[in-house]
Chains A and B, each alone.
Chain A
Amino acid sequence: QITLKESGPAVVKPTQTLTLACKFSGFSLSTSGVGMVWIRQPPGKPLEWLALIYWDDDKHYNPSLQSRLSITKHASNDQVTLTLTNVEPVDTGTYYCAHRRTVQGVMDSWGQGIPVTVSS
């Protein structure tokens, strides 16, 4: 059974860097074909894909946010972190990590999400 859980600050000030962690179990990020993504959802707005990392450390970012985003997997392979620099109030929303079933391109398991507010 795959489980994922996000952690990080609930409130971040404008211009600061947001760092979120996703702790997971039930799979290994060193297994060929495995990917993990970060997705966010501003209040009342659509889902927005942020970043993707594969088992082989190949990384991809949303072009509109690429200069501010970084995704990293850790040596233990049971945690992935996302950093978003120079945050603004428009970055407020719920941030989700998810397991990606690469063959079908499906995010088949999601964390519960972590709400983040950018405010001074």
Chain B
Amino acid sequence: IQLTQSPSSVSASVGDRITITCRASRDISNWLVWYQQKPGRAPQVLIYRAATLEGGVPSRFSGSGSGTDFTLTISSLQPEDFADYHCQQAHSLPITFGQGTRLEMK
């Protein structure tokens, strides 16, 4: 299952609302995970089952979608949110990731 993320990069400011999209090559129901990765660090899970927030993740992060189209939204960007974001499908093996989205400070 191929995952296509867009955009590949986005520039935004503190306080902005941003949305990242992940499209699957076939129906994966809600088996989608979002990760955040900061430079030099391992990814950390933000959201699983498309819309369930992982424990400890701020509520400004939200996910939606089912089938083939998914979105990650950050409602009001904070300085610590500038990072890379990855989607991953958990529907079937092989596990696959999107190509990533870099969120940069404008």
Chain A interface (Cβ within 8 Å of chain B)? Answer: 37, 46-49, 52, 60, 62-63, 96, 98, 104-108, 110-113
Contacts and interface: CB of A to CB of B under 8 A. Distances in A.
Interface string B31-70: 1010100000111110011001010000000000000000
Given A107-B43, A111-B42, A49 B90 contact: no
B96 interface: yes
B48 A62 contact: no
Nearest to B40: A113
Interface string B88-104: 10110111111110000
Given A46-B100, A63-B94, A108-B54, A113 B49 contact: no
Contacts of A49: 94-97
B23 interface: no
A70 B11 CA distance: 41
Contacts of A62: 94
A55 to B, nearest CB: 16
A52 B90 CA distance: 13
Given A105-B33, A108-B54, A46 B97 contact: yes
B49 A104 contact: yes
B88 to A, nearest CB: 8
17 contacts: A46-B97, A47-B88, A48-B97, A49-B96, A52-B93, A60-B94, A63-B94, A96-B43, A104-B33, A104-B90, A105-B91, A106-B33, A106-B48, A107-B88, A108-B45, A110-B42, A113-B42
A60 B31 CA distance: 19
Contacts of B48: 104-106
Contacts of A96: 42-43
A110 B43 contact: yes
A113 B31 CA distance: 25
Contacts of B42: 96, 98, 110-113
A107 B48 CA distance: 10
A46 B98 contact: yes
